[in-house]
């Protein structure tokens, strides 16, 4: 007997064995049991989600010799003939190859005759959106008022191409894409029945590659069985699919955490030697970063049996949430622009170097070389400090009509802003320099510092800023001080932020507090409080500064002149306080 592919061998024969379309099964089951039968059904959805399968099961339910039922017997001659594709009253039409109006007219002429062997004559028209407009017009009348013995079941992957006059005459069901967990579970059941050894991570790779299509998943599973010589293993499936080895991506992130450019480029070179598609690598890197972000914020959302969970947990504890968001954005932009790069390898490595550059810019130490007086110029930090002295100064974007000369406005802005900044810089007092390490060591040796004498003054926000926190900083900033004494600190967390009360975060916060004070401090956290947390205070302060900046811009005489003379409009979202 010839081999039958898994997609055909394991095609569901009843509603009970159908995977992943419970909403459609429930509606059809209730309709069959209550005898509320429509004359035309439309099944929509992407490829491989069960449109034709549901159509055939519905045909069996309508023609089963036991009667109209939601549970066809599967053993009568009608059910067996439908399963084998030889039932005379089940007419399956491929609209992609029968688009002409003459074919539709012949079909409709035959519909007038009574069924030969079954209770109903069932027409299954697949990819119905491929029919010509004339064919749709020819079937409209019959589709609206068909003979009592005729049922139409239409299937399409693109219902938007169908005329609304046809859509309105059908009972429409939208089939969803299969969930990856459903695909993995179904593949496991098949392989166990077929007595084929497998690894769950390999099935997860197949489910991801199938993109919600069960038929694609079973076709890939067939290919994996042949590729692995009657076994389905992760390493071989990765090789077959050309998937990126997760270890490469985790090593890239570890090199970024350690600011190790050599290790970063070594991993990229190793990926190039294996001819890995770097577009897919950036996509998988973005996926990994998304999983890390989920692990940081909602760890319970990640499946406990996920093979990568331990590695994700470790990375989530080592990378700050801000850097995860930054890396994710760089990966997306790198994937978008990789086609503009000289080659894929150059585009991929530039994305990695961009991530590394942001790391190094955060960790870069300020120069200690003095600047000669005759060549000294106001630094960026001095300019920013000077602007802070004058809160009325802020950046803005002015929207002017097309007829307003751009050069005139740019020149006017330069003339208006330059004197203000220069004047403030000239009058600003020099910032006192922090004592150097050697001076500090001479005044107070490190060995004589007794941290146990450090006392908490009740300013929780200042303490949070002083603590060396990583992943637990979000928790600390969303806590409110309830009470404290020499050996304990009691905090409350607002109800909206109670998801932050993760044991790992609490442990990290407790360790940081103990290290800061140099002794054991009992930390207690509970849900409640008034919500006056450092995070809320920072938000309110930023809102106040933003409001002052907007007010300063709106009251500025020069801006008013621009509005009056050129009809300019202020774009509020462009105003940024400096």
Residue 186 inside a domain? The answer is yes
pLDDT of residue 470: 74
CA distance linking residue 146 with residue 111, whole number of Å: 8
> Last residue of some domain: 174, 203, 228?
174
Please report which confidence band the pLDDT of residue 180 belongs to, taking 50, 70 and 90 as the band edges: confident
Its pTM stands at 0.54
CA distance linking residue 558 with residue 552, whole number of Å: 11
Residue 82 inside a domain? The answer is yes
Task: State whether 114 and 202 are in the same domain.
Answer: no
Please report which confidence band the pLDDT of residue 516 belongs to, taking 50, 70 and 90 as the band edges: confident
Please report which confidence band the pLDDT of residue 51 belongs to, taking 50, 70 and 90 as the band edges: very high
Task: State whether 68 and 154 are in the same domain.
Answer: yes
1-12: average pLDDT:
83
> Last residue of some domain: 211, 241, 271?
241
Task: State whether 251 and 237 are in the same domain.
Answer: no
Q: How far is CA 157 from CA 8, 43, 129, 350, in A?
A: 20, 9, 8, 39
- Percent of the chain residues topping a pLDDT of 90: 25
- With residues binned 3-state (H G I as helix, E B as strand, rest as coil), the percentages for the chain, rounded to 5, are 60, 10, 35
Residue 1 inside a domain? The answer is no
Q: Give the SS3 label for residue 125.
A: strand
pLDDT of residue 41: 94
pLDDT at residue 438 greater than cutoff 50: no
Find the CATH number of the domain harbouring 41.
Answer: 3.40.50.300
Within 10 Å of residue 155's Cβ, how many Cβ atoms?
A: 24
Task: State whether 125 and 62 are in the same domain.
Answer: yes
pLDDT of residue 219: 92
Task: State whether 60 and 90 are in the same domain.
Answer: yes
Residue 547 inside a domain? The answer is no
Contacts of 294 (CB under 8 A, 6+ apart): 301, 302
CA distance linking residue 514 with residue 508, whole number of Å: 10
Residue 495 inside a domain? The answer is yes
536-552: average pLDDT:
88
Which pair of tokens denotes residue 307?
Answer: 């093979």
pLDDT of residue 361: 61
Average pLDDT taken over every residue of the chain: 80
Q: Are 476 and 467 in contact (CB under 8 A)?
A: yes
Task: State whether 88 and 228 are in the same domain.
Answer: no
178-199: average pLDDT:
90
Task: State whether 149 and 284 are in the same domain.
Answer: no
Find the CATH number of the domain harbouring 288.
Answer: 1.20.272.10
5-31: average pLDDT:
90
Q: How far is CA 332 from CA 242, 293, 320, 325, in A?
A: 20, 15, 19, 11
Task: State whether 189 and 73 are in the same domain.
Answer: no
pLDDT of residue 71: 92
> Last residue of some domain: 360, 388, 411?
360
CA 572: distance to chain centroid?
30
Fill in the DSSP letter of residue 468.
Answer: -
- DSSP annotation string for 459-508: -HHHHHHHS--STTHHHHHT-EEEEE-SSEEEEEE-GGGGGG--HHHHHH
Residue 200 inside a domain? The answer is yes
Indicate the range of 60-69, 218-227, 405-414 predicted with least confidence. Answer: 405-414
Please report which confidence band the pLDDT of residue 152 belongs to, taking 50, 70 and 90 as the band edges: very high
pLDDT at residue 58 greater than cutoff 90: yes
Residue range of the domain that includes 107: 6-174
Residue 569 inside a domain? The answer is no
Q: In 101-187, where do the E strands start and end?
A: 121-126, 150-156, 171-174
Residue 256 inside a domain? The answer is yes
Find the CATH number of the domain harbouring 187.
Answer: 1.10.8.60
Cα torsion for 484, 488, 494, 500, to the nearest 10°?
A: 150
Q: Are 428 and 385 in contact (CB under 8 A)?
A: yes
Q: What is the pLDDT of residues 241-281, one digit of tens each?
A: 876 667 788 889 989 988 888 999 998 998 888 777 888 88
Task: State whether 51 and 100 are in the same domain.
Answer: yes
Q: How many domains does the chain have?
A: 4
More reliable by pLDDT, 470 or 135? 135
More reliable by pLDDT, 31 or 314? 31
pLDDT at residue 400 greater than cutoff 50: no
468-472: average pLDDT:
75
pLDDT at residue 392 greater than cutoff 80: no
Task: State whether 473 and 519 are in the same domain.
Answer: yes
Task: State whether 124 and 265 are in the same domain.
Answer: no
pLDDT at residue 431 greater than cutoff 50: no
pLDDT of residue 362: 59
Please report which confidence band the pLDDT of residue 351 belongs to, taking 50, 70 and 90 as the band edges: very high
Of the spans 344-348, 402-406, 494-498, which averages the highest pLDDT?
Answer: 344-348
Indicate the range of 153-157, 189-193, 452-456 predicted with least confidence. Answer: 452-456
Please report which confidence band the pLDDT of residue 64 belongs to, taking 50, 70 and 90 as the band edges: very high
534-539: average pLDDT:
89
pLDDT at residue 405 greater than cutoff 50: no
Task: State whether 23 and 148 are in the same domain.
Answer: yes
């Amino acid at each position: 007997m010839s081999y039958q592919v898994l997609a055909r061998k394991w095609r569901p024969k009843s509603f009970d064995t159908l995977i992943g379309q419970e909403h459609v099964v429930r509606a059809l089951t209730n309709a069959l049991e209550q005898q509320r039968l429509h004359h035309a059904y439309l099944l929509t959805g992407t490829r491989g989600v069960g449109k034709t399968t549901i159509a055939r099961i519905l045909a069996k339910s309508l023609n089963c010799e036991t009667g109209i039922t939601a549970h066809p017997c599967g053993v009568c001659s009608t059910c067996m003939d439908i399963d084998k594709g030889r039932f005379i009253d089940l007419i399956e039409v491929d609209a992609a190859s029968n688009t002409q109006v003459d074919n539709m007219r012949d079909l409709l002429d035959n519909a007038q005759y009574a069924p030969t062997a079954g209770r109903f004559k069932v027409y299954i028209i697949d990819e119905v959106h491929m029919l010509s407009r004339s064919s749709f017009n020819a079937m409209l009348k019959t589709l609206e008022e068909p003979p009592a013995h005729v049922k139409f079941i239409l299937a399409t992957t693109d219902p938007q191409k169908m005329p609304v006059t046809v859509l309105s005459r059908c009972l429409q069901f939208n089939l969803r894409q299969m969930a990856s967990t459903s695909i993995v579970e179904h593949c496991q059941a098949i392989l166990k029945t077929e007595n084929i050894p497998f690894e769950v991570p390999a099935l997860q790779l197949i489910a991801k590659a199938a993109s919600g299509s069960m038929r694609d998943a079973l076709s890939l599973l067939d290919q994996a069985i042949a590729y692995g010589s009657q076994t389905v293993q992760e390493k071989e499936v990765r090789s077959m699919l050309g998937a990126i080895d997760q270890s490469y991506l985790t090593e890239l992130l570890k090199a970024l955490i350690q600011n190790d450019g050599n290790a970063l480029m070594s991993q990229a070179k190793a990926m190039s030697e294996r001819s890995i598609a770097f577009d897919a690598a950036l996509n998988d890197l973005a996926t990994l970063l998304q999983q890390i972000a989920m692990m940081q914020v909602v760890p319970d959302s990640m499946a406990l049996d996920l093979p990568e969970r331990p590695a994700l947990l470790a990375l989530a504890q080592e990378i700050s949430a801000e850097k995860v968001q930054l890396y994710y954005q760089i990966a997306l932009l790198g994937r978008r622009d990789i086609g503009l790069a000289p080659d894929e390898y150059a585009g991929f490595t530039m994305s990695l170097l961009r991530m590394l550059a942001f790391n190094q810019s955060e960790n870069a130490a300020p120069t200690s070389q003095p600047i000669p007086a005759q060549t000294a110029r106001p630094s960026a930090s001095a300019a920013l400090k000077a602007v802070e002295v004058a809160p009325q100064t802020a950046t803005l974007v002015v929207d002017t009509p097309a007829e307003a000369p751009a050069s005139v406005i740019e020149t006017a802005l330069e003339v208006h802003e330059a004197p203000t900044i220069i004047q403030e810089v000239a009058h600003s007092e020099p910032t006192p320099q922090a004592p150097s390490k050697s001076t500090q060591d001479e005044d107070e040796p490190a060995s004589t510092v007794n941290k146990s004498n450090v006392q908490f003054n009740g300013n929780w926000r200042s303490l949070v800023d002083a603590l060396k926190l990583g992943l637990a900083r979000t928790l600390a900033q969303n806590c409110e001080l309830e009470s404290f004494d020499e050996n304990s600190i009691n905090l409350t967390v607002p109800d909206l932020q109670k998801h932050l009360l993760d044991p790992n975060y609490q442990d990290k916060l407790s360790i940081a507090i103990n290290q800061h004070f140099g002794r054991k401090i009992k930390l207690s956290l509970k849900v409640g409080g008034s919500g006056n947390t450092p995070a809320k205070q920072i938000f309110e302060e930023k809102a106040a500064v933003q409001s002052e900046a907007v007010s300063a811009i709106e009251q500025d005489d020069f801006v008013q002149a621009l509005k009056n003379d050129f009809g300019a409009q202020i774009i509020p979202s462009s105003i940024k306080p400096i």
